[in-house]
C-alpha cells in the first residue's frame, strides 16, 4: 500500500536534513513542496509533560476530518490522548529522532476511505532535541 505523497515527503525530509540527524522547521520551503502542503500537519512538541499541539493542518487533512483541531493539544482529544496508538507513535518519533511510517484505519466522515498512510518526520532547531513534527497523511480508498 504505497503512497507517492509519503515517498515524496520522506525524500524531501532526507534532502533538507543533509548530513544532520534532523532538519529544522526553518529548512522547510513551502514553495518546494506545493503538492504536499494539503497533506501536512505541523505539531509543536512540548516537554514535561510531553504533549503535541496542532500548529498547522493541511486543507486535505482538514477536509477529511470530522472536526478541526488547529491549536489544540493532542492530550485534549480523547481518541488521541495517551495511551493511544497515535500518541505512542508520536512519542516514539520524539524519543528515537527517526521517522515513523504506518497505515492507520480511517475513522473520518467520508466513506470512500478505508485507511490513511502516514509518516511522522522529526524536526529540531538544534539537531538534538525534537521540537516539532511534520506529519504527512495520504488517504487510501476502499
pTM: 0.92
Q: Per-residue pLDDT for 7 more than 70?
A: yes
**Top-confidence residue, 78 or 6:** 6
Q: Per-residue pLDDT for 34 more than 70?
A: yes
Give the bridge partners for 56, in sequence order.
42
Domain ranges of the chain: 4-141
Residue-level pLDDT at 110: 66
Range in 55-59, 78-82, 95-99, 134-138 with the lowest mean pLDDT: 78-82
**Which positions ≥6 away from 112 have C-beta within 8 Å?**
141, 142
Q: Report the topology of domain 4-141.
A: Beta-Lactamase (3.30.450)
Task: Give residue-wise pLDDT tens across range 10-23.
Answer: 999 999 999 999 99
Task: Give residue-wise pLDDT tens across range 44-82.
Answer: 999 999 999 999 999 988 887 767 788 899 999 888 888
Mean pLDDT of the chain: 91
Q: Give the residue from 71, 106, 110, 111 showing the smallest Cα distance to 1.
A: 106
**Which positions ≥6 away from 65 have C-beta within 8 Å?**
57, 108, 109
Mean pLDDT of 96-115: 83
Mean pLDDT of 120-134: 97
The phi and psi torsions of 68 (rounded to 5 degrees) equal -90, 145
Residue-level pLDDT at 85: 84
Residue 123's pLDDT band (boundaries 50, 70, 90)? Answer: very high
Q: Quick one: 122 exposed, middle or buried, by C-beta within 10 A (0-12, 13-18, 19+)?
A: buried
Amino acid at each position: 500500500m504505497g503512497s507517492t505523497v509519503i515517498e515524496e515527503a520522506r525524500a524531501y525530509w532526507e534532502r533538507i536534513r543533509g548530513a544532520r540527524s534532523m532538519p529544522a522547521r526553518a529548512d522547510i520551503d513551502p514553495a518546494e513542496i506545493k503538492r504536499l502542503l494539503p497533506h501536512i500537519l505541523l505539531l509543536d512538541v512540548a516537554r514535561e509533560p510531553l504533549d503535541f499541539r496542532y500548529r498547522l493542518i493541511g486543507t486535505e487533512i482538514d477536509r477529511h476530518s470530522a472536526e478541526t483541531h488547529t491549536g489544540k493539544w493532542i492530550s485534549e482529544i480523547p481518541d488521541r490522548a495517551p495511551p493511544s496508538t497515535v500518541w505512542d507513535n508520536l512519542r516514539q518519533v520524539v524519543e528515537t529522532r527517526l521517522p515513523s511510517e504506518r497505515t492507520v484505519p480511517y475513522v473520518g466522515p467520508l466513506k470512500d476511505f478505508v485507511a490513511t498512510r502516514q509518516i511522522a518526520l522529526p524536526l529540531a532547531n538544534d539537531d538534538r532535541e525534537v521540537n516539532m513534527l511534520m506529519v504527512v497523511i495520504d488517504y487510501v480508498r476502499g
